Chain A
Amino acid sequence: MNKIVKKEILAQGIKLLEVEAPQISKKTQPGQFLVLRIDEKGERMPLTIFDADFTKGTVKIIFQEVGKTTVQLGQLKVGDHILNLMGPLGNPSNIKNYGHVIIIGGGVGIALAYPITKALKRAGNKITSILGARTEALLILEDKMRDLSDKLYVTTDDGSKGHHGFVTDILKELIEKEKIDLVHAVGPTVMMRAVARVTKPNRIKTIVSLNPIMLDGTGMCGGCRVTIGGKTKFCCVDGPEFDAHLVDFNQLMTRLSMYLDEEKVALQVLKKKGVNGV
């Protein structure tokens, strides 16, 4: 049982929970995730660890309400409990001084970009951040990311803020005029695929953090398998970060859609109970 000690609404349908988890908070490194289960009938869901405070013994998670579990999670209040919390899982990000790093965060993916950026900044890198969102109201952590970045760009699909277009538009411009040592992209799979397509011909080392469907998170189920350079890897124990140029993104996207029908059913059942989320 893990008590919720703080709750924040970051944007429409994007929420932050700070949860008591003393041992996880001690061990968490940037890039790692946890698996949670809200209650006895709940599913196991992997979530990025946004921040960990070992002095308080808490971890922070950020999520967007898109399916049954995230909507249900968003309904929880300070003082409520999450039944199971397990982690930290996955390999930490490889933090060192690369030189000039471009951080690309898309949507709720910015939540994972943040701790990685923080660590890369501390390691002495020059940071240029590109944050992408569908629309201004869905953009999160802009100020926090600005504090860590030498330069920061915002793009929105509808032009409501910053550049009207995609993160890759800015990326292409930067590639033309600057020396880039590493690109680290976290966000929707389609965005990460687009980033990989831009950096590959330019031979810029690119790391992505993948988010396949996962069950146990410890290597047991193989549901999170991804094809990396023609070889099958388990995202939970071999990842979650991989060389973007080796990832079979199309397969990942297909596998992510495996349970779309069931996800709709589960959400409807929840809504029938009067829970509507945002």
Chain B
Amino acid sequence: MVSNRGSRLKNSVPMPKQQIENRVQNFSEVAKGYSIEQAITEAERCLQCPKPLCVKGCPVEVDIPAFIKCIVEGEFKTAIKIVKDKNSLPAICGRVCPQEQQCQKFCVLGKKFEPIAIGRLERFVADFEPETGSKINEKPPSTGKKVAIIGSGPAGLTAAADLAKRGHEVVLFEALHKPGGVLMYGIPEFRMPKNVVRAEIDYIKKLGVTIEMDVVIGSMYTIDELFKQGFDAVFIGTGAGLPRFLGIPGENLCGIYSANEFLIRVNLMRAYEFPKYDTPVKVGKKVAVIGGGNVAMDAARSALRLGADEVYIVYRRSRNEAPARQEELENTEEEGIIFKFLTNPVRFIGNDAGWVKEMECLKMNLGKPDESGRRRPVPIKNSEFIMKVSTVIVAIGQSPNPLIPQTTKALKITKYGTIEVNEETGETSIKGVYAGGDIVSGAATVISAMGAGKKAARAIHKYLMNKERNKKLENAYARS
């Protein structure tokens, strides 16, 4: 009995995936998700710790053991209710959270065996729901307060949902033509199906949130004007939108994309269906993607699906330092993408027509850890070599979008261009204005942006209710 239990506990149920040879030719989701049986088997591994450590690892504090227990009992609807109580976007988080650095990192099982696959179970209950139709609990009474949310990415969507649940009127402004932010334009269909994003956004609309597209705050309306229009508070979740480049010679040659541009073309504009859709994308035979994060993996795997013969990931540190999720690194390797670790480009060389044809690189060694705690890459002298390339995608991170800071003079900005906030509340230097997500932290993860949106929603609610209370007190004093 004991040994049997031991073997059951040892490994988590593997994620069913599309066959490699098929999936590199389509944009359908790679990870298919657990079946009911697989989910229950995995859920049964949970030890139901009386003092669960996993919850502490979750930026939005989902009651993980409770929802897993519901899965064991086949109570999937209750399970999703428990998750949604804290997390308005579970189908998204189940897919893209770096669970191994969060909840699963603290799982007691993980000390001896594989930790419980919390992310996969979260996704299971979230995906199970649309089939039964998501229900909204009764709408709370209106507070009469109005909140503007700028940016409909993970931070904005979360803040919007939490504020609507508390009875505030919420209007969400999005600059692009589709809501969802990075979930829509950045993360590819094969990792984040767009119908999943749409379903989560529909849920948020059902909560009473209004979404306005094609609105660029800063140029169409300033923050001041939002207050004048009757908004009582503003949340800025505009993200880290500006792509970084390497700053090396030849970077503006044709055939060199930022990962943002490449992914916007592919995901938001559906370039993989050109000419049915108008927007094209150029993918040559030999593609090099610079960077080691999730965005680099997404770009590389998209290039492969768009018909590249060879795709390289060129990263200046080693696999251990790569910031991509473990699962994405594995998927990328499985699909035959070639990793060139400890390699850094120093210049691009073009042909006569102005297209990139070669990339000169340097080999690197790992030195002492830098401020990020990862070992710093140090160039090896005289290690230059040339790589032939026809397309290059630069995926080395993003900087904060300056549109709002530029038009909102009273907003305090850090030297990195991010918005300065009170870490506990997300409050900025302007009263009633809050911010969260990548515009505050610099480029980070979906879940940390959601955590920030949640925190800010709590603070905005408190601010609005205090304001209301003070107003009542003032009126009472005036009358007495």
A112 to B185, CA, bound (A): 31
Q: Given the complex, which residues of A lie within 8 Å of B247, measured CB to CB?
A: 232
Number of residue pairs spanning A and B whose beta carbons lie under 8 angstroms apart: 114
Q: Which residues of the other chain, A, contact B258 by a CB distance below 8 angstroms?
A: 221-223
Interface residues of A in 26-49 (CB under 8 A from B): 27, 37, 41-44
The residue in chain B whose Cβ has the minimal distance to the Cβ of A262 is: B280
Q: Which residues of A contact B280 (CB under 8 A)?
A: 259, 262, 266
Stretch at the interface among B103-111, B261-269, B335-343: B261-269
What is the CA–CA distance of A234 and B265 in the complex, to the nearest angstrom? Answer: 17
A69–B279 CA distance with the chains assembled, in angstroms: 10
In Å, the complex CA distance between A24 and B220 comes to 6
Q: Flag whether A220 is at the interface (Cβ < 8 A).
A: yes
Known: A84-B213, A221-B258, A258-B254. A216 touches B176 (CB 8 A): yes
Q: How far is the CA of A218 from the CA of B242 in the complex (A)?
A: 9
Contact residues, B266-312 vs A (CB, 8 A): 269-270, 274-280, 282
A-side contacts of B231, CB under 8 Å: none
Interface positions, chain A 224-278, Cβ under 8 Å from B, are: 225-227, 232, 234, 237, 251, 254-255, 257-259, 262, 265-266, 269
B445 within 8 A of A: no
CA distance A83 to B177 in the complex (A): 9
CB distance from B296 to the nearest CB of A (A): 16
Distance in angstroms from A76 CB to nearest chain B CB is: 15
Contacts of A257 in B (CB 8 A): 254
Contact of B219 among A43, A88, A216, A232 (CB under 8 A): A88
Docked Cα-Cα span, A254 to B261, in Å, equals 18
A215 touching B275 in the complex, CB below 8 Å, given contacts A84-B214, A254-B254: no
The reply on A23 being an interface residue by CB < 8 A is: yes
| B245 contacts partner chain A, Cβ-Cβ < 8 Å | yes
A89 at the B interface (CB under 8 A): yes
The CA-CA distance from A30 to B306 in the complex, in Å, is 41
Closest CB in chain A relative to B151 CB, distance in Å: 11
Give chain B's interface residue range (CB within 8 Å of chain A): 35 or more
Q: Is A85 an interface residue (CB 8 A)?
A: yes
Nearest CB to that of B353 among chain A residues?
Answer: A254
Cβ A220 vs Cβ B242 within 8 A: yes
Could you say which residues of chain B place their CB within 8 Å of the CB of A219?
A: 241-242, 401-403
A95 within 8 Å of B by Cβ?
no
State in angstroms the CA–CA spacing of A269 and B274 once bound together.
11
8 Å CB contact of B282 from A218, A221, A258: A258
Most B-side CB within 10 Å, residue of A24, A85, A225: A225
Contacts of A115 in B (CB 8 A): none
> In the complex, are the beta carbons of A43 and B279 less than 8 A apart?
yes
Is B403 in contact with A221, judged by CB distance below 8 angstroms?
A: no
Which residues of A lie under 8 Å from residue B261 when comparing CB positions?
Answer: 215, 221-223
At the interface, yes or no: A87 with Cβ under 8 Å from chain B?
yes
Q: Are B177 and A27 in contact (CB under 8 A)?
A: no
B275 near A265 with CB under 8 A, answer yes
Cβ distance A213 to chain B, nearest Cβ, rounded Å: 10
Asked if A126 lies at the interface with its beta carbon under 8 angstroms from chain B, I say: no
The interface residues of chain A lying within 8 Å CB-to-CB of B279 are 43-44, 215
B396 to chain A, nearest CB (A): 12
Q: Are A69 and B401 neighbours in the complex by a CB distance under 8 Å? A: no
Given that A23-B220, A84-B214, A216-B176 are contacting pairs, would A266 and B275 also be in contact in the complex, using a CB cutoff of 8 Å? yes
Per the bound structure, the CA–CA distance linking A265 and B261 in Å amounts to 21
Q: Does B385 contact A (CB under 8 A)?
A: no
Beta-carbon contact of B251 and A232 below 8 Å: yes
Query: In this assembly, does B36 line the interface, its C-beta being within 8 Å of a C-beta of chain A?
Result: no
Known: A83-B177, A220-B264, A269-B275; 7 extra A-B contacts, CB below 8 A, are A86-B216, A218-B216, A220-B260, A221-B258, A222-B243, A237-B242, A266-B275
